Amino acid sequence: MEEIPFVKSASLGIWVEVGSRDETDAEAGLSHFVEHMFFKGTARRSAQQIAQEMDGLGGELNAFTSRETTAFYAKVVDEHLPQAVDLLSDLFRHSRFSPVEIEREKKVVLEEIKMVEDDPEDLVHDLHTANVWRGNPIGRPILGEVKIIRAISQRKILDYLNRKYLPDRIVISVAGRFNRSALIRQLNRAFRTFGRTAERESYGRPPSPVADGRLVIRRKKLEQAHLCLGLPGLPLTHRDRYGMYALNTLLGGGMSSRLFQEVREKRGLVYSIYSHFAGFKDAGMLTVYAASAPRAVRQVLDLTLMELRKLRNRGIRTDELRRAVNQMKGGILLGLESTNSRMSRLARDEIYFGRFFTLEETLSEINKVSERQVRRLSEQLLDARNLSLTILGPVGSEAARFERLLN
């Protein structure tokens, strides 16, 4: 809990330490589908009543599934928090998972999968994750596979919940304006009898993913070619994680980043180019994304590889590091203006570290990032021998050229 008396909103989240990487091959997409089904009616409320009630409060009710977590959350004006707790706890504890609603929701999720197919930026990221972490559940698309979605039944959903949605995998986080003692009493009433009767499965995630992807080209009729160039990163909890964030910021984390300046501003080869770091409990990946005219792909790749080599071989300048540190701190401070962001920060800290890091602790760790640390991480991580490349679009029969580029 984080009380913020000077705001007028409160955000409540129920986080489950279960995501798509916890699924077997026969369950691919089940975590995400289950998340959808929590909004399709309870013993007390129909799906329509759920929507009408939250709209009537002027609030936001939503959920998401990631590779390691599933979260359900509500944001309301502070005076409506008791109603939001009642609504969210009812969904979480008393959803009916009606067979009729399950069949209807299958169509919705299958349409969502089609949306990804029609969005080349989303699609190339999914293809790239599968390329890098092939053979491991963390590499599968979160939305799952069509044939498995079509085979989902009420029995499969209830079995999955009984095995996965257990009290010791659940974090409830709240941030904003609220009465602490009153909220704790309400949460205790809502969850004191929560439990699972099924025999607990032995909980252990599959082996840590090992990056072994190389080159994947998927030809598709598009106006642009979309590419992801990836390298192994650090786990989210690594002691050098802030150095990793700084490295990503310098490479492609903003308008002043090396990639944005070199490839877009100086050369005009792309509209969109960026890098981003995806961290998990036991693995991480640094990815560069760009979209360009098909004829410019080779040049974009050459420039990107050049910037990676420069970072690895020459290190960084003092002014660059100062700018990256300020950018990182600014992002955190601006995020504190949202009770949703604060609520999410509370939950993620608890799930990944077992404790909450104060703002002062976080800013102190960012300030400790040094040129030497970023240089060491660059030498360790930006190794061309570990590169993976995924290209989506009308690139012709150029696989051999791109294979040579990686080698």
Residues 6+ apart with CB under 8 A from 233: 244, 277, 278, 279, 283, 284, 285, 286, 381
Token pair recorded at residue 108 = 């919705």
- Is the separation of the CB atoms in 211 and 386 below 8 Å? yes
> Could you confirm whether 361 is annotated as catalytic?
no
- Reference 22, options 105, 130, 165, 137; nearest CA is 137
DSSP string covering 225-290, please? EEEEEEEE---TT-TTHHHHHHHHHHHHSSTTSHHIIIIIITT--EEEEEEEEEE-SS-EEEEEEE
- Reference 3, options 122, 142, 175; nearest CA is 175
Q: Give the sheet arrangement for strand 2-3, strand by strand.
A: 2-3, 170-176, 9-16, 70-77, 60-65
List the catalytic residue out of 35, 68, 101, 262: 35
237-260: buried (b, 16+ CB within 10 Å) or exposed (e) per residue?
A: eeebbbbbbbbbbbbbbbeebbbb
Q: What whole-number distance in Å separates Cα of residue 144 and Cα of residue 136?
A: 14
What is the Rg, in whole angstroms, of the alpha carbon atoms belonging to the chain?
23
Residues 6+ apart with CB under 8 A from 373: 240, 243
DSSP string covering 159-210, please? HHHHHH--GGGEEEEEEES--HHHHHHHHHHHHTT----SPPPPP-PPPPP-
- Is the separation of the CB atoms in 196 and 266 below 8 Å? no
The amino acid at 302: D
- Residue 358 DSSP one-character state: P
Q: Catalytic residue positions?
A: 35
